[in-house]
Amino acid sequence: MSPSLDVPVLHGSLVRLEPLTTGHAPDLAKAAEEDRSSYGFTMVPRAGEVDDWLLMHLARSAEGVTPFAQVRVSDGMAVGCTSYCTPRYWPGRADLSALEIGWTWLSGSAQGTGINLEAKLLLLTYAFETLDLARVDLKTDARNERSRRAIQRLGARFEGVLRQWSPSWAAGEVGMLRDSAMFSVIAAEWPEVKAGLRARLTGA
């Protein structure tokens, strides 16, 4: 098993990514119940499940999951979560070559506000400029057109659909596998992707 990464708080103007703790539970319980209409393909706990979900998610640190609370700067509220996960290493070396950004969700009021965009900028910047990675993965349920469009707008490149690849979080599909749409950003593309994300955030 790969341990989680020791990542500091990542600061933006809209969102602050803090290492996830059980102290974020009250805010996340409220965030999860605001508007659940966009969660059809995403694992988001109900308010009464947040404590158990947090403990389960934090336990994944042994599998290399590094979870963050997405804290809205304007009011200091935790409005969702995201993670680094699925770390991969250079052959015969102890340093990382790639990882995935996943386990992401945001409250209804935080969606479409630039928080997701800036969070991805913070995570990708740290991945490429501090961890010196060759690649970052992003994936979603192949049926989730909304998520696929959002990932492509980040500048990630669509690589194809892996059939029966990941656990499904869709209603009525517990224990089943889904097809996953796979995307990536590689180090050579990062300067252009970074410029695009910054331009979108500033409205340029």
Provide the pLDDT confidence category of residue 16 given band limits of 50, 70 and 90. very high
Say if 31 falls within a structural domain: yes
Q: What is the CA radius of gyration of the chain?
A: 16
Angle between helices 145-154 and 115-129 (to 10 degrees): 50
Predicted confidence (pLDDT) at residue 3 exceeds the cutoff of 80: no
Q: How many domains in the chain?
A: 1
Say if 2 falls within a structural domain: no
What average pLDDT does this structure show over 116-143?
96
Say if 3 falls within a structural domain: no
Say if 1 falls within a structural domain: no
pLDDT at residue 2 in the model: 66
Say if 90 falls within a structural domain: yes
Strands 78-89 and 96-106: antiparallel
pLDDT at residue 50 in the model: 94
pLDDT in tens, 83-122: 999 999 999 888 999 999 999 999 999 998 999 999 999 9
Amino acid, res. 107 = S
| pTM for the full predicted model | 0.93
Provide the pLDDT confidence category of residue 1 given band limits of 50, 70 and 90. very low
Say if 91 falls within a structural domain: yes
46: domain CATH number is: 3.40.630.30
pLDDT in tens, 29-57: 999 998 888 887 888 889 999 999 999 88
Say if 4 falls within a structural domain: no
Say if 184 falls within a structural domain: yes
Query: Distance between CA atoms of 183 and 171, rounded to whole angstroms?
Result: 24
Full residue range of the structural domain in which residue 134 is found: 10-202
